[in-house]
A and B are shown apart, each in its own frame.
Chain A
Amino acid sequence: MQDLWGSFQAAFALIVQMDADLAEIVLLSLQVTTAAVLIACLLGFPLGALLAVGRFPGRAILSVLTNATMGLPPVVVGLLVYLMLSQSGPFAVLNLLYTPTAMIIAQVILVTPIVAALTAQVVEDLNVEYDDLLRVMGASRLQTVTTLLWDARASLMTAALAGFGRAFAEVGAVMIVGGNINHVTRVMTTAIALETSKGALALALALGIVLLMISILINASLMALRSSTRTTAHA
C-alpha cells in the first residue's frame, strides 16, 4: 500500500514537472495510437458497413473472421508483424522493424476488427430504420453506405474510442515490433513494462496513472465534442 500512495505522489510529480523524456514518450504514444486508430477507422468503417448491408459471397465468413480477430492476442499480432518486417521476412526491404511505423501497423491490425465489428453492429441497426426509405429513393449501394455511416457518426465515434482504448493500452505487440528503443520507439506502455522489470513499481504505476489520465482526458473531450455536434448538427 506504501507503493500505491507513493505512486500517486510520483504520478503527480511527473505531471507537474513533465520532463522532456516523459513528454516525448507521451507524445509518441499519442501519435502512434492516433495514426493507428485513424487508419483503422478508414478501413473499419467501410468494412463494417459492407458487412452490415453488403450482399456478396463470403460475407458470413468475413463477418466471423472479423469477430474472431477482435480477440487476437497482441503478442501474436506482434510476432506476425515482426516476421513480416524482419530482415529475414518478406517486407525486409521496407526497413520498418523497430520504427513507430511498425508499431502503427501492429495496432492497425489489432484495432481494425474492433472498429469494423462495432461499425457493422451500429450500421445494421440503423439500416433496419433506413432500408425501405433508401430503397424507394433509389439510393445506390455507395449512397446507402455513406448515408448510414454519416448518420451513425455518434456511435462510430464510440467504436473509434473503443479502438483507441485497446491500442493506447496495448503493450505486447508494440514491444516486439518497436523494440522499446529509448527515444525512438518507447511509448507509455513499454516504458511501464520496463520500469516494472526494473522493480521500480511506484514509477511504473505512476506512469500508468498518467496513461489513465490522458485516456480520460481524450475520452471526455471527444464525448464533449460529440454532444456539441449533436446540439448544432448540420451537414
Chain B
Amino acid sequence: MMRGTVLAAVVAAIPFMSQAADEFIIVQSTTSTQNSGLYDAILPRFTQSSGIEVRVVAVGTGQALKNAANCDGDVLLVHAKEAEEQFIADGYGLQRHRVMYNDFVIVGPANGPVDLKNTTTAAEALRAIAQSQTPFASRGDDSGTHKKEQALWSSTDLDPSDQSGTWYRETGSGMGATLNIAVGMDAYALTDRATWLAFENKQNHKIQFEGDPALFNQYGVTLVNPAHCTKVKIEAGAEFINWLLTDGQDAIARHTKDGEQLFFPNAR
C-alpha cells in the first residue's frame, strides 16, 4: 500500500519538473516594480508578442545586484544609478538604459507630531523628524531606496545610524514590510511612490513630504555581461530590453493604480 502511495506521489511530481520548454529569461529586479503590479500589467504583452517568458525575481536592489553578479539572471532592472554603474564598471553588466522614473515620498502618521507642510527640501524634512525624535523606519537593507535615504541623510549633516535602535529603526526588510512596520509604530518612512500607491495597509498614514527634485527615482535596465556570464541569454535579454525602451514605454505609462500613474517612461 505504502509503495503505491509513494509511486503515485512521485508521478504527480514529474510534470512540473519537466516543464519550462519555452524560452525564458530571468530578470533580477527590485521589489517596488513587482509590488506595484507593474510586471503583471506589462509582461503578458511582451510575452505575447515575443514568445519569451519573463521570470521576475523581485528582491532588494542590493540582493538583485549580487544575484546578477553571480550570473543568476539575464537582465537587471533596479533603481540605484551609482550601484548600477559600479556593476557595469566591475564587468558584470553591459550598458545601463534609463527606463522610467517616479519619485520618493516621505510617508508618516496623518496627525503626526512633526509638521512637514512648510518644509521645502527633503533634507529639511528629515532634519525636522530627527529633531523631534519621532520614529523613522529605515529599510536598512542596502536596497535602492535605502541608498537614496542614506544620500538624503548625508545632505543633512546628521548621522541617524548613531540613533539606531532609538527613534531610528532599521527594519532590514523589503519596502512593503518596512511600510507595515512604519504603519504599526506610527513612524515616518521613505518609500517610492509606486509602492506607496499600491500599498493596501495605509491606515492613517499619508504622504507627508514630496516634490523635492532630490527625491527623483530613476529605474535603469542592464543586460548582464556575457563576457562575465557565459550562459546569459543575450538575444532574448536584449529583445526584452529593446521592448522596454520602445513599445513597453506605452505599456508602462498606461499602468495605473486608483487612477494614478505609477511610473513615467523616459527612455527617449
Number of interface residues of A (CB under 8 A): 29
Asked if B2 is an interface residue, CB under 8 A from chain A, the answer is yes
Q: Give the complex CA separation of A179 and B73 in angstroms.
A: 11
Residues of B within 8 A of A100 (CB): 16-17
Contacting residues, chain B, for A31 (C-beta < 8 A): 12-13, 16
Q: Do B55 and A229 touch across chains, with their CB atoms under 8 A apart?
A: no
Looking at A122-130, A139-147, A191-199, the stretch in contact with chain B turns out to be A191-199
Q: What residues on A are CB-neighbors of B70 within 8 Å?
A: 86-89
Q: Determine whether the beta carbon of B13 is less than 8 Å from that of A199.
A: no
B10 contacts A by Cβ under 8 Å: yes
Asked if B26 is at the interface (CB within 8 A of a chain A CB), the reply is yes
Q: Which of B1-57 contact A (CB under 8 A)?
A: 1-2, 6, 9-10, 12-13, 16-17, 20, 26, 31, 34-35, 39-40, 55-57
Query: Is the beta-carbon distance between A182 and B176 smaller than 8 angstroms?
Result: no
- Stretch of B93-101, B124-132, B144-152, B193-201 on the interface side: B193-201
How far is B59's CA from A180's CA once the two chains are assembled, in angstroms? 10
Cβ-neighbour of B180 out of A97, A101, A153, A196 (below 8 A): A196
Closest residue to A184 on the B side, CB-wise? B55
Say yes or no: is A34 at the interface (Cβ < 8 Å to chain B): yes
Q: Tally A-B pairs: CB < 8 A.
A: 86
Alpha-carbon gap, A179 to B70, bound state (A): 15
Q: A87-B231, A88-B70 are in contact. Are A99 and B20 (CB under 8 A)?
A: yes
Asked if B201 contacts A199 (CB within 8 A), the reply is yes
Say whether chain B's binding surface is mostly helix, strand, loop, or mixed. helix
Q: Is B58 an interface residue (CB 8 A)?
A: yes
A residues less than 8 Å from B26 (CB atoms) = 98, 179, 181
Q: Is the CB of B35 within 8 A of A198?
A: yes
* Residue B71 interfacial (CB < 8 Å): yes
| Closest A residue, CB atoms, query B179 | A199
Inter-chain CA distance A182–B174, complex, in Å, is 18
A90 to B201, CA, bound (A): 42
Chain A's nearest CB lies how many Å from the CB of B203?
9
Within 8 A of B (CB), among A82-106: 86-89, 92, 97-101
Given contact pairs A179-B57, A199-B198, A200-B201, enumerate 12 new A-B contacts (beta carbons under 8 Å).
A31-B16, A34-B9, A35-B9, A38-B6, A38-B9, A86-B67, A87-B72, A180-B58, A181-B56, A182-B39, A182-B40, A184-B55
A-B contacts, 10 of them at CB < 8 A, read: A88-B69, A89-B70, A92-B71, A92-B231, A179-B57, A196-B177, A196-B180, A197-B35, A198-B35, A199-B201
Q: Which residues of B are interface residues toward A (Cβ below 8 A)?
A: 1-2, 6, 9-10, 12-13, 16-17, 20, 26, 31, 34-35, 39-40, 55-58, 67, 69-72, 174-177, 179-180, 198-202, 229, 231
